[in-house]
Amino acid sequence: MKSVVFAGSILMGLLSGCSTVNPASVAAGSKLKGMKSAYVYTHGGSSADMDTHVEEALLDRGLRVRAGLESEKPTDVDFYVRYDDSWRWDVTMYLKELHIQFYDAKDGALLASRSFSNSLLHTFPDPRKKVSEVVATMYGEP
């Protein structure tokens, strides 16, 4: 009986994984906190809300933000923001993964990147809050 309970505990532990926000990767010597303007590459369509959430997360950190297509990127900003979002269906749509990267506008170097990944037994996170959390960690905020 003890082995069945133990095996069941292990199985539940493996299946009940939670969502994770992976550690931020920030380039050595990154001057991210000193940068004042950003351009977000928008996706439009079904990701229009995510476009807005990324813009808002940057505005909340005092940046001047513009957004549009990558082909229309301006040269008078400090960095570019690229993101990828992946959604799944389970009674309702939920955010499966989110990857955000910041690139220096002058030389294209990666300044910072961060990812969120929902688990097999997922939650239904608020996309606005999850974007804000991911961006916050890229700035070294708790």
Q: Note the pLDDT of residue 45.
A: 75
Choose among 140, 109, 125: nearest CA to 24: 140
Helix (H, G, I), strand (E, B) or coil at 66: strand
* CB contact at 8 A, 118 and 125: yes
Q: Do the domain assignments include residue 6?
A: no
CATH code of 97's domain = 3.30.160.670
pTM (predicted TM-score) = 0.78
Give the domain range for residue 111: 19-138
pLDDT at 99: 95
pLDDT in tens, 55-72: 999 999 999 999 999 999
Within-domain flag for 84: yes
List the chain residues with pLDDT less than 70.
1-30, 46, 92, 119-124
Number of domains in the chain: 1
Residues ≥6 apart with Cβ < 8 Å to 30: 111, 112
